[in-house]
Amino acid sequence: MFGSKQKKYLLSGRHSWFTSRFVVLLICVAIISLFSVSFVLWRSRNGALPSRTGLYTDWKNASYTEVHTKTGLILAKRPLDGEALSLRGFSAYYLYCAQTDPAIAQEYLVDSIVSLRNAWYRVSSIDKPVVAYILGKGYYQRGFYYADLAMKYLAYARDSGLQRDDLSEYIGLTADLLGDNALAIASFTEALASSPSDLLLFTLSRSYLKAEDIDKAKQYFLETIRVTSDDLLANRCRFELGMILLKEERFDEAESEFTTIMEKEPNSADAQYGLGVLYEARAELVKARAAWRKALRLNPVHSGARQKMNI
């Protein structure tokens, strides 16, 4: 049917067609192979990292140890991951709160602060108030020398409109550390309105006492005694009231407060110290020194009694 030239033409055309298809196939295989190798290398570098879904499931279940461990694995590969840094900081803080060993607790607290400080620069503005809230609480737990940083982040959380039941309380506690009695009183009052408690009442009483608003201090000490079921807290209020009454030279009422403490807590060094101050005010110095010696036997480091005995 076909001449020799036609056959040669057809054969050369089929050869070109198969050749072009074969080249395309080789290119596809090369691309797929390259993708597969890249994927394997990526998996190898990332070491099959924990999934975000699993991480948030652990968080929802309050499995803070799991969250802490898994975020550590993620950060070992991606140290600038803001989300992982935040979750690690949060979990470390809650592990700190639950820890009974002081040394281990401090390790968790430092870990929390370091993680959240790094997260602060790597999360969106929407997430910053929550980071600031936990970071501020963490700095407060570090004590007086970190109080200014605690206030910086707690105030940021408050000014950002973050709503947390204990935010005002922590601002009040931090203000108390900084000696800002006005802010402490305002914050504790706000906290009481949303989450009333006997301990908050007592703390507010102490703030009024530091601010030298004696009438308000006495009012809140008495209110704390009225509402609390904690005898130790009630006795602390009675001691403060007794010392106020001593300054007001209402000696019989002060003695009543100290003896009431002794009835409920016979080994109270504070009550013995208060009685000593009462006897001193009555010029009964032998009885005063005897009371202070009793206070020191009960609590050898009682600062008031040591000062009175010139120790």
Q: What is the pLDDT of residue 310?
A: 87
pLDDT at 37 (0 to 100): 39
Neighbour-count burial of 130, counting CB atoms closer than 10 A to its CB (0-12 exposed, 13-18 middle, 19+ buried): middle
* Contact of 89 with 113, CB cutoff 8 Å: yes
**In whole angstroms, what is the distance from residue 163 CA to residue 174 CA?**
18
This prediction's pTM: 0.78
Burial of 12 (0-12, 13-18, 19+ CB in 10 A): exposed
* CA–CA dist 282, 302 (Å, integer): 22
What's the burial of 293, exposed, middle or buried (CB within 10 Å: 0-12/13-18/19+)? middle
b/e map 140-157, b = 16+ CB within 10 Å: bbeeeebbebbbebbbbb
- CA pair distance 192, 184, nearest whole angstrom: 12
Q: pLDDT, tens digit, for every residue of 72-110?
A: 999 999 999 999 999 999 999 999 999 999 999 999 999
Cα 207–chain centre separation:
22
pLDDT beneath 50, residues of the chain: 1-2, 5-11, 14-15, 17-18, 22-23, 29, 33, 36-37, 39-44, 46
Other C-beta atoms lying within 10 Å of the C-beta of residue 1: 4
Domains with residue ranges and CATH for the chain: 232-311 (1.25.40.10)
Among residues 141, 138, 136, 170, the alpha carbon closest in space to that of 153 is found at 136
Q: How many CB atoms lie within 10 A of CB 190?
A: 16
* Per-residue model confidence (pLDDT) at position 68: 96
